[in-house]
Amino acid sequence: MSVSAVQNDKQIPMLDLGAQYRTIAQEIKNAIDQVLESQHFILGPQVTALENEVAKYCGRRFGVGVASGTDALIVALRAMGVGPGDEVIVPSFSFIATADSVSLLGATPVFVDIYPDTFCIDPAQIEKKITSKTKAIIPVHLYGQSADMDPILEIARKHNLKVVEDDAQAIGASYKGKKTAGIGDIGCISFFPSKNLGAYGDGGMIVTDSEEVAKSLKSLRAHGATKKYFSTVQGWNSRLDEIQAAILRVKLRYLDSWGQGRRSRADLYDKFLRGVPKVVTPKRSSWGDHVFHQYTVRVPKRDAVQKFLQDRGVASTVYYPVPMHLQPIYDSLGYKNGDLPHCESAAEECLSLPIYPELTDEQVEYAASMLAEAVKG
Ligand SMILES: Cc1ncc(COP(=O)(O)O)c(C=O)c1O
């Protein structure tokens, strides 16, 4: 099919979950049916099986299912002892949940800058932000690629801090032979539908190697109960349901091949965009596999480029237009424009293009050619 045929044929959406569903529809229906037949809806055998499977996949001993990726962060931070008056170091360029899970617990997010080429936290910026109140660091494996974990772990060891991985976007990615979420003290995963391992609703999981922490997580997700109707600490209602777990167990079996599919789409984008002036394609770090939750380029005059693409049937998204240190919710913390220059320029220039295994070669070629034309203008 020619590039112009693609243009006439159809729009290229940001994501096509329907295309994925059609490849696994019967297995999904069977899995849901099994739950309906069992009439066990919350924290049952499907959740337990998924907890074991995801933990094993991430190289961890324990998994604890919760209601969302945001809850995974909140509950994990609480289990790590984060509370009012504490400070937690986070990269400012991320989805707001990375920081508001901290502030929701009465702690203060302390924002640091990112590496401009990987969009992940710059470990060299962390140590200067550590104070006597610092309790933890949250590296975010943004867009499907691991943050540079070794220096982060070293700083954490030196200052006795917990490392809580925000692995909402990168399940399946790796760092020096280890899977993300399996590297720090505790890993937090999101099953939001658009994620690489997405449920058909909200869901999340926390993974850890500590039996004691796993016990505490299980209590915190159930009103702080240590046995039925007996609560010892303040907790939440944050439970994963059986239907979502059954769906996720089907999808987990495909996660690696879908990751491979995403990487091959990224290879094609790289090929078609090589040498295109003014377009900066995503860097792949040498330390492990990128699972391309997003394929994010940097372009000048980003909003005009996005409009140009939209007019030609190519969807794109800006993740994220305002770094967290400049979000109104954190006005009282006193950050200003210019404080974290790499986060600020990423917010101005980043543009994520459609990427999913079902995207055809022609669609990638068409999207890339439209981008090349857009930046010419
Ligand atoms: C980096 C990051 N952290 C946390 C979250 C929160 O996950 P959820 O939407 O499942 O609550 C997301 C998801 O959007 C995310 O992208």
**Cα–Cα distance for residue pair 314/94, rounded to 1 Å:** 24
- pLDDT surpassing 60 at residue 80: yes
* Residue with CA at minimum distance from ligand 1 atom 10: 69
- Ligand 1 centre and the CA of 1: distance in Å? 37
**Cα–Cα distance for residue pair 94/86, rounded to 1 Å:** 20
pLDDT more than 70, % of the chain: 97
- Ligand 1 centre and the CA of 209: distance in Å? 22
- Ligand 1 centre and the CA of 324: distance in Å? 14
Q: Once rounded to an integer, what is the mean pLDDT over residues 18-46? A: 97
**Residues 192 and 161 grouped into a single domain:** yes
pLDDT at 61: 98
The answer to the question of residue 351 being in a domain is yes
Which residue from 335, 342, 322 is spatially nearest to 113, judged by alpha carbons? 342
The domain that holds 168 is classified in CATH as 3.40.640.10
**Residues 158 and 174 grouped into a single domain:** yes
Residues 321-354 pLDDT 10s: 999 999 999 999 999 999 999 999 999 999 999 9
- Contacts of residue 205, defined as CB under 8 A and 6 or more positions apart, other chains included, come to 50, 51, 54, 63, 64, 65, 66, 72, 188, 189, 191, 240
**Residue 314 bridge partners (DSSP):** 12
Q: How many residues does the chain have?
A: 377
Ligand 1 atom, smallest distance to 194 CA? 14
Residues 112-140 pLDDT 10s: 999 999 999 999 999 999 999 999 999 99
The answer to the question of residue 319 being in a domain is yes
Helical residues (DSSP H) of 59-164, grouped into ranges: 69-79, 97-104, 149-159
Q: In this structure, what token pair is assigned to residue 65?
A: 């299912």
Of 71, 95, 196, best ligand 1 pocket probe by most atoms within 8 Å of the beta carbon: 95
**Residues 221 and 359 grouped into a single domain:** no
Helical residues (DSSP H) of 275-349, grouped into ranges: 302-311, 341-349
The domain that holds 366 is classified in CATH as 3.90.1150.10
- Ligand 1 centre and the CA of 167: distance in Å? 9
Q: Once rounded to an integer, what is the mean pLDDT over residues 150-173? A: 98
Ligand 1 atom, smallest distance to 169 CA? 16
The pLDDT-based confidence of 19 (bands split at 50, 70, 90) is very high
- Ligand 1 centre and the CA of 48: distance in Å? 22
Please, what sign has the CA dihedral across residues 343, 184, 267, 124? positive
- Ligand 1 centre and the CA of 169: distance in Å? 7
Residue 309: domain span: 3-11+255-376
Residues with CB under 6 A from ligand 1: 68-70, 94-95, 97-98, 140, 166, 168-169, 190, 192, 202, 204
**Residues 97 and 231 grouped into a single domain:** yes
Q: What is the DSSP letter of 334?
A: T
Phi, psi of 364 (to 5 degrees): -65, -45
Q: Once rounded to an integer, what is the mean pLDDT over residues 151-170? A: 98
pLDDT at 318: 98
**Residues 151 and 95 grouped into a single domain:** yes
Q: Once rounded to an integer, what is the mean pLDDT over residues 21-38? A: 98
* Residue with CA at minimum distance from ligand 1 atom 12: 168
**Residues 145 and 169 grouped into a single domain:** yes
Q: Looking at this protein, which amino acid is placed at residue 233?
A: V
Of 167, 169, 318, best ligand 1 pocket probe by most atoms within 8 Å of the beta carbon: 169
Ligand 1 atom, smallest distance to 204 CA? 10
Q: Which of 252, 275, 310 marks a domain boundary? A: 252
Please, what sign has the CA dihedral across residues 150, 155, 160, 164? negative
**Residues 45 and 190 grouped into a single domain:** yes
**Residues 276 and 133 grouped into a single domain:** no
What is the β-pairing status of strands 350-353 and 295-298?
antiparallel
**Cα–Cα distance for residue pair 60/209, rounded to 1 Å:** 5
In the chain, the number of structural domains is: 2
Q: Which of 252, 275, 290 marks a domain boundary? A: 252
**Residues 360 and 302 grouped into a single domain:** yes
Residues 257-276 pLDDT 10s: 999 999 999 999 999 999 99
The answer to the question of residue 88 being in a domain is yes
Q: Once rounded to an integer, what is the mean pLDDT over residues 42-63? A: 98
**Residues 75 and 223 grouped into a single domain:** yes
The answer to the question of residue 16 being in a domain is no
Q: Once rounded to an integer, what is the mean pLDDT over residues 356-377? A: 96
Residues 186-224 pLDDT 10s: 999 999 999 999 999 999 999 999 999 999 999 999 999
**Cα–Cα distance for residue pair 82/103, rounded to 1 Å:** 10
The pLDDT-based confidence of 1 (bands split at 50, 70, 90) is very low
pLDDT at 2: 47
Greatest CA span in the chain, whole angstroms?
66
Q: Which of 190, 223, 252 marks a domain boundary? A: 252
**Residues 26 and 124 grouped into a single domain:** yes
> How far lies 292's CA from each of 114, 196, 321, in Å?
18, 9, 19
pTM above 0.95, yes or no: yes
- Ligand 1 centre and the CA of 187: distance in Å? 13
The answer to the question of residue 17 being in a domain is no
